[in-house]
Structure 1
Amino acid sequence: MSDLATCRTSRAPDRPPAGAASLHDRPLLVVGAGPKAVALAAKSKVLREVGFDVPDVVAVERDRTAANWRPGHGWTDGRQRLGTLPEKDLGFPYDSSAWGDHRDPVVGEIGRRMVGFSWTGYLMRTAAYARWIDRGRPQPTHQDWADYLEWASLEAGLRVVTGEVLGAETQEGGWLVTHTGRDLGGVVRGCGLLVSGPGPCGGAVTTDGARILDTAGFWRAVTAGLPRRVRRVAVVGAGETAGTVVRELALVHHRDVTVLAPHATLYSRGESSFENRYFSDPADWTALTEPDRREFIRRTDRGVLSQDVQRDLAGTERVSWRTGRVTAARTTAAGDVEVSFDYAGRRDTVEADLVVDATGGDPLWFTGVLGPQARQALTRAVGGRLARSSLERLIDHALSVPGLRAPLHLPNLAGVAQGPGFPNLSALGLLADRVLSAYVSPAAPARAVTEPGSLTAPAHAPSTSRRGAS
């Protein structure tokens, strides 16, 4: 039996006696206590309540739950509006067919219990639902969303180990994660590992913390107060991260902004029902060719601005753009910053008082903390070189890398192979189903709901009929 098989477990055919321990003696570990960790914890709690034996969820977080959605942590000032509909919450799309036939009462109960972790459920529990409806269902701010996630994490019993991840190594068919905190002596063990969050800010230029900032440095500067000398700002990047930076600078702080983008213009994100269908239900995603999948993601999720940001920027003349790929930025003798960029074989420059590199995080950041065994196994799985494109092609139905001795789930890299909604907030409930179903034997009989007499046992094992090829 493989080490991966020892991490999987079945649902017992009969209801266990009261107080019986789960067959899982090790939890599923998540790097970061953000939306993906909370969604997994909520679904795990619900599944265990109705009789499925799935692992508990433990998040290793260097700060606090939903820290990246709060001011002072490098990704927002908390006042920005959520770019995704709030109804696409921790349970969305509320399709429990991964766990059996939809006519099965236990399967229906999964969806009903997940509604308790929804955005509207949160508003009802906090007596804010009527006010939200009366105000026209406005998009929540990032701070509002963080408060929702923290509430749900407490309701789900998400266990958060405080510390920054230093290393992650495979051991005895599972994972051993070391961290800087004192919780559990700086070590936590699990049967699987999921990497969430954007990772450290990556970039096209070298930052100096003063006149050339990454995204985190910018939001810290905004929190502290932008210097008056900053009148002209160059922003590198054309995605949603850059869009929120540009909106903040132009509309809140009334600075003149030049956006340096690699494409002809600042494209808007596709938001029609045709695009959204693939985010909510990627059943037909793998029928598309890889070039078409990558083009879809480029047009709808990467390097595009949300329609809310586009509408806001349409009301100002403070924003302009230049087309080209940024190659360098340097401070001049006069104290300005000169940014160099190339387009069509020609090099050009712009000058600014401040440069913000808003090209986002590096999705491969986690490879820097992998231990030698894990890194060697991952390199072997992708064919000898850890490149983003080759790793994206490998991600399987469980949003993991096949062929490893212990499950490694990489939803942030799952868009190309499995569906565009997994790297973002568009299908958190489906993400949790995909990941947790990997820890239940598909051939095992089902167990009844733990409340005596409430429901009959599920008639089917977790469904695999909707699984797409990786």
Structure 2
Amino acid sequence: MSQPTALSPATEAGSWDPARHSGAPLLVIGAGPKAIALAVKSSVLRAAGFDVPEVVAVERDCTAANWREGRGWTNGRQLLGTLPEKDLGFPYDCATWGDSQDPVTGEIARRMAGFSWAGHLLARGVYARWIDRGRPQPSHREWADYLEWAATRANLRSVTGEVRRAELADGGWKLTVVDGTARTAVHGCGLLVSGPGPSAGTVPADGTRVLDTAGFWKLAVEGLPDWAQTVVVIGAGETAGTIVRELAIGMDREVTVVAPRATLYSRGESPFENRYYSDPTGWTRLSEADRQEFIRRTDRAVFSQQVQSDLALTTKVSWEPGRVVGTRRADNDIAVEIAYGGQQRIRHADLVIDATGGDPLWFTRVLGPRAEAALRAGLGGSVTRERLERAIGTSLAVTGLPAPLHLPNLAALAQGPGFPNLSSLGLLSDRVLAAYVPHIRPEAGTADEARTGADLPDHTAVPAVNQGAAHR
């Protein structure tokens, strides 16, 4: 799509009316799993007679780019960290749209099943072969093929380019998109920011001896040089885990992981823990301290059990507790400065990789002045991660804005741990799209949701550039 998307008629300031979308689309920054899940659910709901907005993705590269090699997030051969059955429609609970016995609700579920991982394999004629092989985890490249297949079937519309400005305008959002020398204005009723964003970085990358996540994967595709025999990896989350596995097992290099905790913890994945990822019912009744502990234990600074199992096969990996506070060039290597327990020590390595993950607030750098002012007013102060995490309502949007700004990557604390990753894409799309249907409300039950009803001002969205591979 090269022409600006139509904007709904201008409205006076006031409460957000879900009927206002009036044909204007929901804009998503990034054509990754979240955008595709929304496009699939939107197409299914519109076919069933629901008046939900169409989805338009703004993407600077290609569909599912961050799941393919050469884009800076994987070499394509890494295995998916989530069960593939947790696909674009999972958990296939259509209760948001009506009673389970209603034929229309059953039709929604049936149509969604046509976009499933199994449906993709059936369309390719390889479903039986996958079952006979023991249902192996797909590679990132295979997952990208599935996402692209679903996006094509759902007729996901996209605008090519990078979002340079996201501004509130006429009761919705206006994105300024740049592709080379071309500038396009894209208008919509709401905005959803997807993807982890660019690496936040603990230490500055120099592109040769000190690399960020993208720099490593680009170099890995080209071939890691022979001189890089000893490597320090900063970070202990799933991004770091896949890099460590590739270095130690795929490349036979000596790896030291610097992590802020005592050891490299594994991610909790019992049926009891997984249930909150698939179905966050009861999540908001937990104390905030318990929710934070749950997220820390299951999804932050932990390696998946698959990565842990793979690393158990090698003696190439060691770890050190502490935080990297700096790096400097030594004679023929890099000196890594590590602080722990009030003391500092030096670790030497041929190569340093900062795998501490993306900056969840990166989108704020492209907000226009009206959007930034509205966000500050809605949060009651400066824009911080802590304030945003506590201000996410049931529709995964920031409460108190003039137009919806959906931030699923920051919704774990307030709404459930599965929304930032791939654990409940079907529920995510239900929560978001229900906000635009007058007689439908996303699953109620939180104090925030009470504020997202009749007295919620026009919701607005923020721009960003797709950066997204989420793992769980």
Q: Which residue of 2 aligns with 1:168?
A: 166
What one-letter code is carried by the residue in structure 1 that aligns with 2:323?
A: R
Q: Is 1:78–2:76 an aligned residue pair?
A: yes
Q: CA deviation at 1:24?
A: 2.7
- Native 8 Å contact 2:16 2:403 kept in 1: no
Q: Measure the CA separation in 2 of the matches of 1:165 and 1:465.
A: 31
Kindly report which structure 2 residues correspond to 1:112-127, keeping only aligned pairs within 5 A, or say none. 112-127=110-125
Percent of pairs with identical residues: 62
Task: Give 1:359 shift.
Answer: 0.5
Which of structure 1's runs of 4+ aligned residues deviate more than 6 A? none
Task: Tell whether 2:382 aligns with 1:404.
Answer: no
CA distance in 1, matches of 2:180, 2:50: 32
Alignment RMSD: 1.5
- Counterparts of 1:90 and 1:133, CA distance in 2: 20
Structure 1 letter corresponding to 2:198: P
Structure-to-structure mapping, 1:318-357, within 5 angstroms: 318-332=316-330, 334-357=331-354
Partner of 1:9: 19
Could you tell me how far 1:25 is from its partner in structure 2? 2.4
Cα distance in 1 for partners of 2:227, 2:116 equals: 45
**What is the alpha-carbon distance in structure 2 between the residues aligned to residue 388 and residue 2 of structure 1?**
30
Distance 1:347 1:378, change over 3 A: same
Name stretches of at least 5 consecutive residues in structure 2 with no aligned partner.
1-10, 449-472
Aligned residue for 1:419?
A: 416
State whether residues 7 and 174 of structure 1, in contact with CA within 8 Å, keep that contact through their aligned partners in structure 2. no
- Please list the CA deviations of residues 156-191 of structure 1 after superposition, one character each: whole Å capped at 9, or x if unmatched: 110011101101000000000011127995111000
Q: How many residues align?
A: 438
Measure how far apart 1:341 and its partner are. Answer: 1.5
The aligned counterpart of 1:390 is 387
The AA in structure 1 aligned to 2:18 is R
SS of structure 1 residue aligned to 2:83 = coil
Q: What are the within-5 Å matches in structure 2 for residues 176-215 of structure 1?
A: 176-181=174-179, 185-215=183-213
Q: Where do 5+ consecutive residues of structure 1 fail to align? A: 11-22, 443-461
| C-alpha distance in structure 1 between counterparts of 2:422 and 2:79, whole Å | 14
Contact 1:27 1:56 in 2 (8 A): yes
Distance 1:231 1:150, change over 3 A: same
Structure 2 length-normalised TM? 0.91
Distance 2:14 2:284 in 1: 25
Matching residue within 447, 455, 462 for 1:469: 447
Q: 1:234 aligns with which of 221, 232, 235?
A: 232
Which residue number in structure 2 is paired with residue 63 of structure 1?
Answer: 61
SS in 2 for 1:180: strand
Aligned equivalent of 1:20: none
| CA offset digits 1:5-55 (Å, max 9, x no partner) | 566229xxxxxxxxxxxx732100000000000000000000000000000
Partners of 2:232 and 2:94 in 1: CA distance: 46
Question: Residues 276-300 of structure 1, C-alpha deviation per residue, up to 9 Å, x if partnerless?
Answer: 1101110100001111111101111
Contact 2:435–2:441 (Cα < 8 Å) also in 1: no
Following the alignment from structure 2 to structure 1, what is the Cα–Cα distance between the partners of residues 92 and 446?
19
- d(CA) in 1 for partners of 2:182 and 2:170? 19
Question: SS of 1:186's equivalent?
Answer: strand
- The one-letter amino acid paired with 2:19 is T
Go from structure 1 to structure 2 and tell me whether the alpha carbon gap of 1:32 and 1:183 turns closer, same or farther (over 3 Å shift). farther
> CA contact under 8 A between 2:431 and 2:442: conserved in structure 1?
no
The whole-number CA distance in structure 2 between the counterparts of 1:404 and 1:465 is 20
Distance 1:27 1:7, change over 3 A: farther
Distance change >3 Å, CA 182–CA 158, structure 1 → 2: farther
Residue among 362, 365, 368 paired with 1:368: 365
